């Protein structure tokens, strides 16, 4: 039998490392394809990682509490299977390390560079040194912290581990627990000198900052916007609710449908840019990102093949996805692979925003709050429901004519949604 080494896969959202929370197997165990072998914690959430191989566990490459880099050995399994060969073919084809249970991506093949495996973390412990079979004594008085990153984050924030409340069933203090405690009003500042509070940029804030900085530094972006009469849009949503046997269709789902109908006319914006290859990757299907603010920070979960979903299904998938994002239960594959992002910042009570593009996508459409405003209708001043739409786009994929044409088309659909919705159900 040959030994197959499964590397810690790409966990999405620019994450480069994860902490091992709990091994679900030990050396000598038999594993099957897609069996969960380990629970890891990233900056975004706890994730159960399935194994793409079947066979006998030969080696675990890190102890519980170890921080592992993406692309380093995670587990070695003796044996092989046709699924393993498929995994290798997909990896060599450019999909990178994948979680078989989460799929390998979508759309046309892209020229992604494979990550080079980095050396094993120096504090990784070989399985022989792990007492994986021994029962773990309950920890009643001492807080359970497995990750050194979590300890450091709590220490830098001036937190007492005994005072941090945990969420979930494993009772482990996670990074999300610490960051929730830091965000609480009673949290102690890191340092205060001369009336100035210094707060370390760590965890979620650092991850978001790095991703947004990369977007701003790499993408030559431009923003355009337009005010729109959304009165007919709100009426159309009410009419849809009545026609779908009482099933509630979210306004976000209706706006997403209008957006994707416009994208079909302006496919240049449904793209990503591969800067290394010097290529624009234009997609037939829309894998729609939805910007969502959560307790863990800004996330952009993706609705894959959203353009193929009927309105009712799309509404259900949007509701499910946003709820999973808020609770931190999204699998990594649901946070990657977007081709266009919709940002409903109107929920924050604001009218407009020059949003930052979700790298490596090429555009993001923003929607402001819908409020009563004076509006001229057929030459007569009236009170209408008005909103502002904004489009931030990558000037490498198109010029202002395409961007303006797309935004005007979305605006026309908002003012007369029957044009786009048609028989959508």
CA atoms within 13 A on the CB side of 67: 14
CB 390 within 8 A of CB 291: no
The sign of the torsion formed by the CA atoms of 24, 30, 36, 41 equals positive
Chain centre distance of CA 181: 23
Euclidean distance between CA atoms 164 and 161, whole angstroms? 5
Residues 106, 287, 305, 395: which is the catalytic one? 395
Residues 141-180 as b/e (b if ≥16 CB within 10 A, e otherwise) read eebebbbebbbebbebbebebeebebbeeeebbbbbbbbb
CB 33 within 8 A of CB 83: yes
The residues with which 342 forms a beta bridge, in sequence order, are: 290, 365
The sign of the torsion formed by the CA atoms of 388, 237, 299, 307 equals negative
CA atoms within 13 A on the CB side of 17: 18
Query: Cα angle at 149 between 148 and 150, to 5 degrees?
Result: 90
Is there a catalytic annotation at residue 395?
A: yes
Euclidean distance between CA atoms 99 and 34, whole angstroms? 8
Give DSSP secondary structure letters for 354-385: -PPP-TTBSEEEEE---EEEEEEETTEEEEEE
Catalytic residues: 395
């Amino acid at each position: 039998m040959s030994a197959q080494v499964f590397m810690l896969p790409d966990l999405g959202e620019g994450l480069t490392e994860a902490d091992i929370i709990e091994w679900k197997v030990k050396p000598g165990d038999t594993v099957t394809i897609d069996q969960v072998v380990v629970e890891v914690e990233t900056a975004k959430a706890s994730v159960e990682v399935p194994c793409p191989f079947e066979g006998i566990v030969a080696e675990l490459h890190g102890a519980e509490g170890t921080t592992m880099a993406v692309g380093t050995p995670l587990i070695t399994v003796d044996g092989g299977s046709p699924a393993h060969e498929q995994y290798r073919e997909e990896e060599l084809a450019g999909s990178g390390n994948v979680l078989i249970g989460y799929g390998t991506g979508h759309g046309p093949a892209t020229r992604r560079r494979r990550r080079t495996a980095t050396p094993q973390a120096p504090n990784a412990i070989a399985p022989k040194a792990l007492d994986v079979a021994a029962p773990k004594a309950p920890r009643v008085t001492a807080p359970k912290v497995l990750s050194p990153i979590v300890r450091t984050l709590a220490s830098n924030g001036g937190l007492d581990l005994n005072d941090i409340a945990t969420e979930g069933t494993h009772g482990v203090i996670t990074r999300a627990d610490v960051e929730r405690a830091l965000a609480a009003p009673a949290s102690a500042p890191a340092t205060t000198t001369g009336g100035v509070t210094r707060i370390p940029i760590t965890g979620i804030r650092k991850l978001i900052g790095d991703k947004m900085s990369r977007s701003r530094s790499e993408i030559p972006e431009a923003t355009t916007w337009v005010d729109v009469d959304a009165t007919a849009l709100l009426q159309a949503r009410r009419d849809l609710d009545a026609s779908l046997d009482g099933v509630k269709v979210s306004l976000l789902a209706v706006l997403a449908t209008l957006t994707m109908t416009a994208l079909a006319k302006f496919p240049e914006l449904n793209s990503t840019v591969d800067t290394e290859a010097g290529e624009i990757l234009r997609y037939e299907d829309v894998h729609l990102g939805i910007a969502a603010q959560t307790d863990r920070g800004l996330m952009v979960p993706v609705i894959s093949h959203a353009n193929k979903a009927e309105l009712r299904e799309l509404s259900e998938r949007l509701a499910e996805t946003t709820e999973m994002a808020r609770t931190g239960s999204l699998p990594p594959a649901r946070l990657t692979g977007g081709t266009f992002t919709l940002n409903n910042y109107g929920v924050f009570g604001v009218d407009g925003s020059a949003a930052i593009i979700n790298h490596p996508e090429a555009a993001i459409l923003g929607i402001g709050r819908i409020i009563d405003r004076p509006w001229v209708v057929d030459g007569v001043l009236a009170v209408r429901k008005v909103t502002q739409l904004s489009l931030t786009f990558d000037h490498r994929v198109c010029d202002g004519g395409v961007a303006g044409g797309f935004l005007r088309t979305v605006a026309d659909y908002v003012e007369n949604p029957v044009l786009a919705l048609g028989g959508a159900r």
